[in-house]
Structure formats: structure tokens, C-alpha cells
Amino acid sequence: MAVDSLEWALKLYPSSTAWVRDDATTDGTFEKLEQLAATYPQRVSLQRNVCAEGYRGVPVSMFRMFSEISFSGGRDIEMLIALDPDACILRPGLVELARERFAQYGPGMIGSYSVSPDGKRREYRTFRRDILLDLLPVGIDKKTRMLRFGFPFYFKFLRQARAHGYRLGEHVLAALYVIHGETLRELSRNGFWSSIPDQGSRYLKSDDPLISLGVKAIGHSLIDINDPNRGDVRAWLQFKGPLPHSAEQIWEHQFLAVHPLKRDAASETMRRRLRALAQ
């Protein structure tokens, strides 16, 4: 699934470079990623966690990767497109759309933010609760199940974000998002990427609300990729499946990307059909 999404994106965007971080997989994924990196030796940078961090360790993996990108090639990056394995970029145009949004709203983070592609308002209650629990001076770590004391690593950034109008828990959905190059670099300069400890925080264990918080902390913008109220839906990015469209409808609407397409039979059939329509 990950290799398929990456290979498709590399072919659609021939001037792009891909940074990939494998979570110490043992199911053959890493070997397939090595083959992909060998196919695109100048374009794919493959890293691997020493041990599996799992779903709750995704923020640590992402922060480590963004820190590495910032130091290795950050000066030349116009924008960074973060892509979940179950998200598919379908056609060219995403970079041009991001340029339009950044020109209008300034640097920051673009994706499914305040409104879903079906026009419903997104809500942030779960992550708001996790932040409030993190702010308690003592609590149970959700990953280790052990007591931990003190405020979360992102506490000072939370105060800065609040000064810029941040609402607790608000975020751009992790499925697919675009970070402006200057946002990436500024988050490196202010120590955000290097601030996360190996165990992350006690309760807030998702990367999208943490990174969105960091973007607001430096005064940059969280930006909607879609405006359904004006009939402008450029990418169908929803939290959970199934997708409400067939492959033919997705292609007819000219969506730039979709999420999620997982490893179930229906999703794999849709992937194959979308590839065929793209030929």
C-alpha cells in the first residue's frame, strides 16, 4: 500500500524527492521500499526506526523525519507534501493548488482543516480532551501505561499558539497535508522538531494536532484545501472509509487526491481501477 502510493506520486511529480521512514517493519514492506529506493536512487531517501514505534509513536517518527529533512535539504524546499500510506495522489496540480493557497493565506499548513469535503464542519473534541489531560501535572502514559509527571513537551509552544488564536485540538487532517518550506524551517529554528522526547506526550499521541499546534505557535496559517460551500472540492480527504464515490466518480470530479484507500479488497480494487483510468 505504501509503495503503491509512493510510486504513483513519484511518477506524477518527476521533480520531487521522497523521504520515507519505515517503522522497523518485518512483513516485507522495508524490502519493497529498498527496491523502490534503488529504482529512484537520486530521489528517494529511506530511513528506518531502530525499533517499531507503532501507531502511538507516529509523532516521534514524524518529528524525527521533519528534523532530518530540515537539516539535510531544508533550504531548497518550496513545500513538503506529507502522505499517509492509505492516501493516493491521483494527478498533477497539487503543487499549483498549494501555491495558490499559500499566496492567499501566507505560509503554513494546507489540508482538510475546518471543513470536510462533504461540507460538514470538522470537530476537535477528542484532541482537545487529550491536551487538557496532558496539562494535568500527573497522568498515565497511554503507550507505556506508567505514571508520568510534569507538563507536556509542547507546553511552551501551546502558549505561543494560543497567542496566535489557536483553539485547543484544532488541526489539519494527517491523511495528506502540505507544509510551506518556510514553515518547516521556522519550526526547526525554534526547536519544535527537536523538542519531542522519545516517549512523546502522555495523552496526545497523534501527529496532526501536534504539528498543527506548532504551525500556529509560529504564527503561520492552517488552511483549508477545499471550500465545499462554493463547490470547490479539490481533494477528497476524509478521516474514515468507505469513500462515498466510485472510482469513475472520483476520476470524473478530477480530485487531486483521495483518502483512505486501505488494504481491504474494495480499496485495492479501487486503486487498480483508478490506475487504469489514469492511463
- pLDDT (tens digit per residue) in 195-243: 999 989 989 999 999 999 999 999 999 999 999 989 999 999 999 999 9
* pLDDT above 70: percentage of residues in the chain: 99
The pLDDT, as a whole number, for residue 74 is: 66
Determine the Cα–Cα distance for residues 68 and 274; give it in Å rounded to an integer. 33
Q: Bigger pLDDT: 144 or 134?
A: 134
- Confidence tier at 69 by pLDDT (50, 70, 90): very high
Q: What is the mean pLDDT of residues 266-278?
A: 95
Confidence of residue 160 (pLDDT cuts 50, 70, 90): very high
pLDDT at 145 over 90: no
Average pLDDT over residues 116-133: 96
C-alpha separations of 43 from 18, 93, 106, 226 in Å: 6, 20, 28, 29
**CB-CB contact of 147 with 139 (8 Å):** yes
Q: Using an 8 Å Cβ cutoff, are 7 and 36 in contact?
A: yes
144: pLDDT strictly greater than 80: no
Is pLDDT at 75 greater than 80 in this prediction?
no
Q: Does position 147 have pLDDT exceeding 90, yes or no?
A: no
